Amino acid sequence: MFLFAGLGNPGEQYRRNRHNVGFMAADAIHYKHRFSPWRKRFQGYSAEGEIAGEKILLLKPQTYMNDSGLAVGAAQKFFKIALAGIVVFHDEIDLPPAKMRAKIGGGNAGQNGLRSISAHCGNDYARVRIGVGHPGDRNLVSRWVLSDFAKAEQSWVETMCEAISDAAEYLVKHKLEDFQNRVHLALEKSGVLKSS
């Protein structure tokens, strides 16, 4: 069994924030793969479904970003999910907008949601890092991630989330590089990314 956790902050006022792109990716997976209805559980919203023949628990922690590990840890313990079965979707300021990287473990680069999950679960889980860009001044980072995506960014955000949901089977096959390539190809095909 896998645990897919999209990170964000609960509440309507945060819904379109850059910090909530993990929730957006989770919603796209939920829709595309026809998961069960969301229900309140594990200090978050969870839904169950199947991708590539594997059972998936999809989770949107409602603890606020900095305490995401409380929800992820509770779900992991309940279902006895191995660390290798956890995939976390989150915003990444060190990547340009519309870029995405997938990796296992590594540093948390100031991302407090990851820090909390590592504290509760361990560090060697998969991270899908969705680039939201950097405001250019570290003093502006908090305001930047807690502000909404601009109207002009909506198309790449939607394309990114759709591409992630389309390529999710590669996550359950532990083929992170293939997953990453599929997402980038979809973004290039849509014109969101220039082919390199």
pLDDT tens profile 146-177: 999 999 999 999 999 999 999 999 999 999 99
Going by C-beta distance under 8 Å and a sequence separation of 6 or more, which residues neighbour residue 190? Answer: 159
pLDDT for 56-115, tens place per residue? 999 999 999 999 999 999 999 999 999 999 999 999 999 999 999 999 988 776 788 899
192 has pLDDT over 80 = no
Whole-angstrom distance, CA of residue 139 vs CA of residue 135 = 9
Average pLDDT score over residue span 25-50:
97
Phi, psi of 126 (to 5 degrees): -80, 140
* Beta bridge partners of residue 86, listed in sequence order: 3
pTM for this structure?
A: 0.95
193 has pLDDT over 80 = no
* Residue 25 tokens, joined: 């990716």
Mean pLDDT, the chain, integer: 94
Share of the chain above pLDDT 90, in %: 91
Domain ranges of the chain: 2-189
pLDDT for residue 55: 97
Q: Residue 26: enclosing H or E segment and its boundaries? A: helix 21-32
Q: Active-site residue numbers?
A: 19
pLDDT for residue 107: 78
Whole-angstrom distance, CA of residue 10 vs CA of residue 57 = 19
The topology (CATH level 3) of 2-189 is Rossmann fold (3.40.50)
pLDDT for residue 187: 93
* Residue 77 tokens, joined: 């313990």
CB 171 within 8 A of CB 56: no
195 has pLDDT over 80 = no
